[in-house]
Amino acid sequence: MSGGCNQAQKMQKLVAELVIEDYNNQVGPAVWDSMTAEEQSAAVRMNIATCQKHLRNTMLRWGIKGEKKFLEEILDEPLGDFSSEDRTS
C-alpha cells in the first residue's frame, strides 16, 4: 500500500546513503572494507520512521469510499424523497 509519500521515502534512502558515505569517509575506505557486513551494519545502524498514520488514513479513505458506495446503493431510493433543503439530523 502506498500513500503517495514517495518523496519522504526517497529522502530516507538518500539520508541513509549519506550517513554510510560520511562514516566511510571518517574511518577511511581501508577500514570500511576490512569490516564484516555485520560490523558495517552495526556501525551505521539507524532507525527510519515510516508514515504509518498517513498510510492508515489512505486505507481509511478507500474504506470510506466503499462504504459510501454500499450505503448509496441501499439508501438512494428510500432517501430520495428527502429534499436537499431539509435537515435530516
Q: Which string of DSSP letters, residue by residue, matches 70-82?
A: HHHHHHTTGGGGS
Which structural domain, as residue segments, surrounds residue 6?
1-49
pLDDT of res. 67:
87
pLDDT of res. 75:
85
Domain tally, the chain: 2
pLDDT tens digits along 14-45: 988 999 999 999 999 999 999 999 999 999 98
pLDDT tens digits along 49-76: 677 777 677 778 878 888 888 888 888 8
Distance CA 4, CA 54 (A): 9
State whether 39 and 75 are in the same domain: no
State whether 24 and 56 are in the same domain: no
pLDDT of res. 24:
92
Radius of gyration of the chain (CA): 26
Distance CA 43, CA 17 (A): 13
Structure-model confidence comparison of residues 45 and 89, the more confident one: 45
Distance CA 79, CA 74 (A): 9
